[in-house]
């Protein structure tokens, strides 16, 4: 006979499509749903449907938004002359958690990757260029990997001629890490990027 | 400002109530939902609601069922004179995966645990006793931990006087494991429970 009755098999199958959830975890989640109250299960189901219905892209920065401008673009206290370019909406959350950035964002939704057939037109790059009229500095905070670096270079080449400062987030050893375990590329960048004490 | 807009914050919160899902994993799951198609997200939501609506307990063995007798209780080819007692519906799935058991099950939904205030009346024990008329053997397959053992002892004391064989699943070294890493209690049980080759 089948391992699970149909409604459970179906739920295990749906859960196992989630990232990082294997068959075993999916079964654990499914049995958890069976055990919780109907209200709690319904809350989860409604939150899933709700997020699909209500989350859209901000027409200015392309971060996730509930329709119309996102809270950051709509905030007059944020410095509109400073734009931080990131690859993914999650990077906006990460940046906001630092509390160090008070400008606006621009979310590219990807990086230029010839290997995967993604060119400049496949990310929100034209949209970035079209909003730079009153901007004095663009901080490129794409990922510190090969594609992120290439995308940063590409953006710099486009924007510098417009008379706008283009900066890159610093590479270096992570705070709280152990120097002896730092890879040589990172450590090399940390030396080159050293700052006066 | 808040880390997430409201619909996302709500979904992250719901996901983080699931077992083994921390805030970080919950955020990853929420962003995954934002990225998948509306259909895929709806399928998950529907599977959650569906499992709550359709999964009930089998009135005979108390395993999960879609209303009425579960497939195993309803199967005339399964030996009704042999009942395997387990603590949790998941244990039925585990047992079925072995392919070694062809009798019926009884799910206690817990173990006797004076420490946590669970007595014999808090698990499906009366229900077990009331279905033993034509049973020749009860295999007690509660967990091999303190509470599971105590529950097994309790069941044996109740059922043996009814003239029914009561057996316990074997304790021993797991197949494929390394003897030198076996704990001494398990290894001791393996020696005591040795079988002729």
Residue ranges of alpha helices (H) inside A89-183 are: 89-98, 126-129, 146-159
A142 touches chain B (CB under 8 A): no
Name the H helices within B55-171. Answer: 71-74, 89-98, 125-129, 146-159
Contact A3 B93 (CB under 8 A): yes
Collect all residues with Cβ–Cβ distance below 8 Å to B48 and sequence separation of at least 6: A11, A14, A33, A41, A42, A44, A45, A48
The pLDDT value given to residue B2:
64
Q: What's the pLDDT tens digit per position in A142-157?
A: 998 889 999 999 999 9
What's the average pLDDT block by block, 10 residues per block, for chain A (197 residues)? 84 96 94 94 97 94 94 96 94 88 95 91 96 95 91 95 93 83 83 78
Q: Enumerate the CATH 3.40.1360.10 domain ranges in chain B, comma separated.
A: 64-178+185-189
In this complex, the residue of A10, A45, A70 whose CB is nearest that of residue B45 is: A45
Task: Share the mean pLDDT of chain B.
Answer: 92
Query: How far is the C-alpha of B149 from the C-alpha of B141, rounded, in Å?
Result: 9
Nearest CA in chain A to B102: A1
Residue of chain A minimizing CA distance to B78: A1
Buried/exposed code over B23-58 (b: 16+ C-beta within 10 A; e: otherwise): eebbbbbbbbbbeeeeeebebbbbbbbbbbebbebb
A58: closest chain B residue by CA: B5
Distance CA B84, CA B99 (A): 13
Determine the distance from the C-alpha atom of residue A108 to the mean position of all C-alpha atoms in its chain, rounded to a whole number.
Answer: 9
Supply the pLDDT for residue B174.
86
Whether B99 contacts chain A with CB within 8 A = no
Residues B90-144: tens digit of each pLDDT: 899 888 888 889 999 999 999 999 888 999 999 999 999 999 999 999 999 999 8
Distance (Å) from the alpha carbon of B141 to chain A's nearest alpha carbon: 18
Report d(CA B63, CA A159) in Å as an integer: 65
A chain contacts of residue B90, beta-carbon cutoff 8 Å: 27, 31
Is the CB of residue A54 less than 8 Å away from at least one CB of chain B? yes
- Judged by CB atoms closer than 8 Å, whether chains meet at B41 and A20 is answered as no
What element of type H or E holds A9? helix A6-15
Kind plus residue range of the DSSP H or E element containing B24: helix B23-35
Chain B environment of A49 (Cβ under 8 Å): 41-42, 45
As for the ipTM of the complex, it is 0.78
> Pick from B30, B48, B89: which is nearest to A11 by CB?
B48
- CATH code for residues A64-178+185-189: 3.40.1360.10
Could you give the residue range(s) of every CATH 1.10.8.420 domain in chain A?
6-54
Give which of B25, B44, B46 to mutate to test A binding, by max A Cβ within 10 Å: B44
- Give the predicted TM-score (pTM) of the model: 0.77
Contact list, A47 vs chain B (CB under 8 Å): 7, 10-11, 13-14
Query: What angle, rounded to 10 degrees, do the helices at A38-54 and B23-35 form?
Result: 50
What pLDDT sits at residue A1? Answer: 52
Say if CB A27 and CB A12 are below 8 A apart: yes
Domain A6-54 is classified in which CATH homologous superfamily?
A: RecR Domain 1 (1.10.8.420)
Q: How far is A115 from chain B (nearest CA, A)?
A: 22
Residue of chain A nearest B55, judged by CA positions: A7
Question: Which segments of chain B have a pLDDT < 50?
Answer: none
């Amino acid at each position: 006979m089948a391992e699970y009755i149909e409604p459970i098999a179906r739920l295990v199958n749906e859960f196992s499509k989630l990232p990082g959830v294997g068959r075993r975890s999916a079964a654990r989640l499914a049995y958890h749903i069976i055990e919780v109250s109907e209200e709690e299960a319904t809350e989860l189901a409604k939150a899933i449907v709700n997020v699909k219905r209500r989350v859209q892209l901000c027409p200015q920065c392309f971060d996730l938004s509930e329709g119309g401008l996102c809270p950051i673009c709509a905030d007059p206290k944020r410095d509109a002359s400073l734009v931080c370019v990131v690859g993914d909406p999650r990077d906006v959350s990460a940046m906001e958690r630092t509390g160090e950035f008070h400008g606006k964002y621009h979310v590219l939704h990807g990086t230029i990757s010839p290997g995967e057939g993604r060119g400049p037109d496949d990310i929100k790059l034209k949209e970035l260029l079209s909003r730079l009229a009153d901007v004095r500095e663009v901080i490129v905070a794409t990922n510190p990997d090969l594609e992120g670096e290439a995308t940063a270079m590409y953006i710099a080449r486009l924007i510098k001629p417009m008379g706008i400062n283009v900066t890159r987030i610093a590479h270096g050893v992570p705070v709280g890490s152990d120097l002896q375990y730092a890879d040589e590329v990172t450590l090399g960048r940390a030396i080159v990027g050293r700052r006066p004490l």
